[in-house]
Chains A and B, each alone.
Chain A
């Protein structure tokens, strides 16, 4: 009789668990049936005869376990469903762009300059700096270009109200380097230089050079060619073929123009090299003994080579930039490409 009642309670509770629409309804069933004041707890076995009581207790426990199992199964189903719903709601369009800034960019000349600085420091060269406003002495006289020397025409100069000038080349840093470090020395000096010229697609009044110099005992033209070849092969990531021909610069003797075999046509001839197969790349030479002497170095004991690399030109070659004015344009449509 009692078992029957328990049985009935169990099936009606199971039905309610089954019917529960959501977690709250299920919880209500649990409270109603399994709670401290729930119908199972209300079910009193105290009035039963002892032999009946044991049986009823057993049946009650079985009903309780069955209900708890059913309840837990149902609860888990609800939880799984709820999680599933939440996850579904959390659908995210990952094709959308991520917020926040992207890395910006270094100026193309900075990129090329950094690369060459690193190359030279790895070869034991110091990187030196000099002022952009120079004395006439350091820019010209100490480089064997006295006043009234026609070579001054090779570099149109910005003269300043204070009697000084904007350096026309990075070569004055050679002088400062020799004065500061003394021999032996290996140095480069990258920097901004100025020429008082009209600006067009291939001429700028402001551009970037990198001056290099090595002073040691027994420095020869063969060493100069070695360094230039090594440098250019590293810059262009391929074996550079170079040639020297005479060039006149008062601070070197002998002076050279260094040509590189055209990288576009490999020397066959194309518009870039004007069909010659060669592109003029950098002036260089053995340091003139007057220049050494003026910087307090004995030319009978020491010798050296020097060269000037056009960083702006190199950047133009590297990136295929055909208008030199872009470098100082501040135009982000250009600068963001690097």
Chain B
């Protein structure tokens, strides 16, 4: 919303504060000013619309002028002269179907209208605040709106059918051609203004094209109405049609303001359309306009909430400067009546008045103070702690953390063979990449790999993020996952897989990899399930070459919740054996696909209860072994906890182990 400094000065006579300083004051006390534009003989203060969401009155200059008057201690000049309104029988009837949707509809009829360009002062003023000058009649409706925050509309009376204006819900199938030359299909959720034939305006949003003011218009119906905020908003959102009127009405305008708008328009129309005559009296239909009860307010409560000293007279003078009615019924205790333009939604409880007093005394006058509260140890968030540990471990092992979006495309999901039905869909995406919520971190990890492989020969990265799995209409299941990837442009890919396996072991001491049938996006011969303490926690695999990565990439994908659940460790000190141990190496010739873990188990079983440790040393293939054989070497450490093993005993163990090397796997 743009405010003209000159306009405000007209309404606050004697205002001497410079625009720059005024802008600062408004920002500190009322609403955020975003900019100041100096134009010929005026200055335009631009106020952030978001900061006016709760203030219907600030959508007009009078409301802002009232703030300025209160801030600067000046008097406000109300431009409205209600006694200008004609008395007598109204020439048109008004029928409101539902006063909840239209609390009030007021109108005046004028004849002998001359439609012509507005005088320069009017055009300049509208254009200064960003409104287009159209013709004198339309310009006056916009002027009154910009001044009083009361949207108005002028119909060409000769184009209306019948002499009654209906405010009703649109019927299914009804249409309207609007002033913007668009046509809209309407239904019962849209409130319309209608004549005997059909809709002539979308209530509170836009006028109809057929009854618009034209160069030959002689007779007009000037509407000044009040519509329910929710209803206007619903229509405006549904039809994607935001107008100066709808923006104001959706902030809950003041129904007492309709006749003020008419009085002000009447005065101005006489200036810009010479010879114009008002016909009859004011047509005014309204429901019961309720005056809210006064609010109880005590100075003690205000002081406690602000954390600042405050005098009763300060409170009274602030509230009165903003035109609240104030009665001090006991020392320091007030009854406060809210003015109608603040009473629609903005102010209804004492907390709202706290803001009025607080902003006017100035928040900078409050000294920061530490509260007196119990010193407590906050409850622990174990999952967060665990995630941190995982992150730190991954970083220690050389991985860089990435954050990826929670969105995937159907194409990305399909590349990983995830059923689209498992995903939660986005109903209103604005970009093409946002149709589904991710049910796996892997599609984005693949993208990270492809993107980074353009610049780097090798890298390690990881993400902790949530998989989101659809559960019908219930909130989806959000499953935190840890996904790590290693990429190398050169090499046979082994190092990446074993580095990731090592990372898994760093995170889960003693976890195991179990060869698994590969999923379609996994290398068919390089896929394993990672299990820990008897439960499956995730997978380790190399990406299938057909996924289009130049080079090789391996991925470790783990379920964080399961990991955390299994991560229970009671640490107790264990004394070690005081007796010497001895070690020997054993090489086993085996088939190429015989698993190291199986050989290890066999040797360990053969070694028996005196085995302290068995350690994989190396694997060898190549000459002089035949191409389908390999040699695997282990180091076995043996010892007893209660004595020194004799060399004969050690030799016997060694014999047993050697005997076991020849045995085929069970």
A positions within 8 Å CB-CB of B: 100-107, 109-110, 114, 117, 121, 124-129, 131-135, 147-148, 150-151, 153-154, 158-164, 166, 181, 184, 186, 192, 194, 196-199, 205-206, 214, 216, 218-223, 225-226, 229, 243-248, 250, 253-257, 286, 288-289, 303, 327-333, 335-336
Contact = CB atoms under 8 A, between A and B. Distances in A.
Contacts of B55: 248
A132 B478 contact: yes
B51 A248 contact: yes
Interface string B240-256: 00000000001100000
A216 B401 CA distance: 38
A92 to B, nearest CB: 24
A55 to B, nearest CB: 52
11 contacts: A131-B475, A135-B475, A147-B230, A161-B427, A205-B430, A221-B306, A247-B32, A327-B403, A330-B402, A330-B448, A336-B400
Contacts of A253: 349, 351-352, 354-355
Given A107-B402, A222-B368, A331 B394 contact: no
Contacts of B307: 220-223
B366 A289 contact: no
B351 A121 contact: no
Central interface residue in A166, A197, A246, A331, by most chain B CB within 10 Å? A246
B434 A254 contact: no
A133 B424 contact: yes
Contact of B461 (A114, A117, A332): A332
Contacts of A197: 430
Contact of A103 (B396, B429, B434): B396
Nearest to A150: B250
Contacts of A110: 391, 401
Interface in B594-644: none
Interface in B357-395: 358-359, 363-364, 366-371, 373-379, 381, 383-384, 388, 391-392, 394-395
A124 B375 contact: yes
Interface residues on B, range: 35 or more
A223 B370 contact: yes
Contacts of B425: 160-162
Contacts of A106: 391-392, 395, 401
Interface stretch (B11-19, B449-457, B573-581): B449-457
Contact of B359 (A105, A151, A254, A286): A254
B531 interface: no
A158 to B, nearest CB: 6
A131 B480 CA distance: 11
B369 A254 contact: no
Given A110-B401, A226-B370, A332 B459 contact: yes
Contact of B476 (A153, A162, A196, A246): A162
Contacts of A128: 381
Nearest to B345: A149
Contacts of B171: none
A150 B398 contact: no
Contacts of A331: 451-452
Given A166-B406, A327-B403, A331-B451, A243 B364 contact: yes
Given A221-B305, A225-B366, A150 B233 contact: yes
B472 interface: yes
A160 to B, nearest CB: 5
A222 B367 contact: yes
B234 interface: yes
Given A121-B378, A161-B425, A245-B27, A330 B461 contact: yes
Contact of B427 (A153, A160, A184, A220): A160
Contacts of A244: 363-364, 366
Contacts of A330: 402-404, 444, 447-448, 451-452, 461
B597 to A, nearest CB: 26
A132 B468 contact: yes
B234 A148 contact: yes
B243 to A, nearest CB: 14
B30 interface: yes
Contact of B401 (A102, A181, A335): A335
Given A133-B478, A196-B430, A221-B363, A245 B400 contact: no
Contacts of A286: 305, 351, 354
A250 to B, nearest CB: 8
B460 A101 contact: yes
Contacts of A221: 305-308, 358, 363, 366
B473 interface: yes
B399 interface: yes
B437 interface: yes
A335 B400 contact: yes
Nearest to A219: B371
A279 B234 CA distance: 35
A336 B452 CA distance: 12
B316 interface: no
Nearest to A206: B405
A132 B498 CA distance: 34
Central interface residue in B30, B307, B383, B424, by most chain A CB within 10 Å? B307
Interface string B311-347: 0000000000000000000000000000000000000
Contacts of A257: 32
A245 B378 CA distance: 31
A331 B454 CA distance: 10
A278 B208 CA distance: 47
Contacts of B308: 221-222
Contacts of B367: 222
A100 B495 CA distance: 12
Interface in B53-81: 53-55
B428 interface: yes
B381 A184 contact: no
B650 interface: no
Contacts of B355: 246, 253-255
A245 B363 contact: yes
B470 interface: yes
Contacts of B381: 126-129
Give 9 nearest A-B pairs by CB, closest first: A222-B307, A101-B398, A220-B307, A254-B355, A161-B425, A148-B230, A244-B363, A330-B448, A226-B368
